[in-house]
Amino acid sequence: MQETLEKIGLTKNEAKVYLALVKTGDSLASTIAKITNLHRRPVYDSLDKLIGKGLVSYNIKSGKKYFQAQNPEKILSILKDKENEIKQILPELVSKFNATKPEVFSEIYEGKEGLKTVMELILKENKDWLSIGSTGKGPSIIPYFLEHWHKKRIKQKIQFKTLIADTPEGRERTKKFSKIGLAKVKFLPKEIKHPQTIWIFGNKVAIILVSMEHLTIFLIDNKEIAASFRDYFNYMWASKK
């Protein structure tokens, strides 16, 4: 829980103090200091910031200040407020970004989170998704995310066509695609057992490299390059029965 709170913007000390208050209820700063193993000064600093964020309040009993955590659902409200603030400046940010964007825009993503980011772009593009060299190992890498992501894809009616590796994993994955829907599958030659994966969607091409359990994705954003890869895919697709 502490790690998650830190991810949404609390400092390490703020997360510790907030969690301590959630567990103990009304508490003196000295009590919180003992529970968290923090000195009083960092505890008071954290309490002040948490009060400012609306996550902690206090009351006075017998001349002493007792602090209490606000309902954790308040966190969602804070995040929603931040989202609304970002939305207000987003059009201007996008405009400035596009004005300086190079003709061929490329990025590198790494790991599972990088893969999830690229898959979210597929939904954002909302165009047919083509894949060359799928290995069928996706469910073992991001199982929970992948299941829900495909539900969103189906809802958006995004068609998926893949040239998948003719391996046990690829064959098994093909059976599942038939159940998921909006997916057409053909197999690569059996000689190609360890293909690297290429995704084409909209004006983007993602080249996914897996080496020694390390996942790296090269993303290219260019209309002409995407069209070229799409031609490669269509040629290969038509040549397979």
- d(CA 202, CA 196) in angstroms, rounded, equals 20
Class of domain 104-239: alpha beta
CA contacts within 13 A on the Cβ side of 140: 8
Q: What is the mean pLDDT of residues 166-193?
A: 82
Q: What is the mean pLDDT of residues 111-130?
A: 93
- d(CA 183, CA 160) in angstroms, rounded, equals 5
What is the DSSP secondary-structure string of 60-80?
A: EETTEEEEEEPPTTHHHHHHH
- d(CA 10, CA 50) in angstroms, rounded, equals 9
Q: Is the pTM of this model over 0.75?
A: no
Counting residues of the chain whose pLDDT is more than 90, the rounded percentage is: 47
Look up residue 185 and give its DSSP letter. Answer: E
Name the residue ranges covered by the structural domains of the chain. 2-74, 104-239
- d(CA 235, CA 241) in angstroms, rounded, equals 12
Per residue in 35-81, pLDDT (tens digit) is 999 999 999 999 999 998 889 998 888 888 899 998 888 888 888 88
Topology of domain 2-74, CATH? Arc Repressor Mutant, subunit A (1.10.10)
DSSP H helical ranges for 8-142: 12-24, 29-36, 40-52, 74-100, 111-125, 138-141
Retrieve residue 102's tokens: 């190079």
